[in-house]
Structure 1
Amino acid sequence: MNWNKRIRQFHRWVAIVFTVTVVLTVVVLAVQGPEWVSYVPLLPLALLAFSGIYLLVRWYRTSRRSSSSPPAGAGRAAWVRPLHRWSAVTFLATVLVTFVALSLPDPIIWVSYIPLLPLAALLISGLTMFTQVAMARRRTGRALPA
């Protein structure tokens, strides 16, 4: 198994862990649980950011070397991965803007809702890619080659 495949698998599993921790955090805070629970998703989010940045840089470096176009008939797979990459970049930027806006002496609360749109795009595109891999494995009946 090559290094890039390991990072992608790690990124997928951390995305699942992050989603579960966000859901659990929302549930715990909805039932008036302790406020420290809101910090639990930060570790998986940081791991997602670092592995995602690594994958983005790796993709950018290899795509500049070989400017090959997607294969004919790639369909949905041709745009889902770039959508996922750029919505991740947008999500990271909007989270940073949110931290700055909320750290002001008179915080702007509505800014905290801005990262939800790229987060929704990340969720939808990530689930699409996840199911594409699972469906391809199911169709072939075996693991996909690297």
Structure 2
Amino acid sequence: MNIIEVRRAHRWLAVSFLAAVLITVIGLSLSGPEWVVYLPLFPLAGLFLSGSLMFALVYRGSRRAPASGRSSGVRRVRRAHRWSAVVFVVTVVATVIALARQEPVVWVSYLPLIPLAGLFLSGSIMLVAPLVRARRVQ
């Protein structure tokens, strides 16, 4: 599988995840059905799988080939995005464990929001950067 295809799928999954979160928030604010809270789980699972695959492909590729001609800023944003994803997964696991106890620690459920904000910002930068670069060339 090609990294470019995985990256493209990951972008579309990110957009669908954001749409599912917006639908969930709107649905819950309008006292919609409870099942709407499960909508973001499907694209989130896809994001996890495609992100893990990209992480493995980049790690495997970095051991074989030298760094590409990309600017260091893009590499730093991409690296921050990867590590934000790792921290997000760890905080989600910690949240599941904390909420599964007999006396749940509810404040822990807010911890994944911090790396999720980092993922959103770095993902937005990576999504918009090629468009800005193409516009500068014209």
TM-score by length of 2: 0.91
The CA deviation at 1:102 is 1.1
The CA deviation at 1:69 is 5.2
% same residue: 43
What corresponds to 1:83 in structure 2? 80
The CA deviation at 1:71 is 5.1
Cα deviations across residues 32-82 of structure 1 (Å, max 9, x unaligned)?
21111101100000000000000001111111233x45758x242131000
C-alpha RMSD over aligned residues: 1.8
Equivalent position to 2:95, from 98, 104, 118: 98
What corresponds to 2:16 in structure 1? 17
TM-score by length of 1: 0.86
What corresponds to 1:32 in structure 2? 31
What corresponds to 2:43 in structure 1? 44
Mapped partners of 1:75, 1:3: distance in 2: 23
**Matched position secondary structure for 1:126:** helix
Equivalent position to 1:119, from 91, 116, 119: 116
The CA deviation at 1:139 is 3.5
1:130 partnered with 2:127: yes
Letter in 2 for 1:99: V
Letter in 2 for 1:89: V
8 Å contact kept, 1:70–1:78: no
Letter in 2 for 1:134: L
What corresponds to 2:6 in structure 1? 7
Letter in 2 for 1:51: S
Mapped partners of 1:85, 1:129: distance in 2: 12
Letter in 1 for 2:117: A
Mapped partners of 1:90, 1:128: distance in 2: 19
The CA deviation at 1:5 is 0.8
Deviating more after overlay: 75-84 vs 45-54: 75-84
Q: Which has the higher helix share?
A: 2
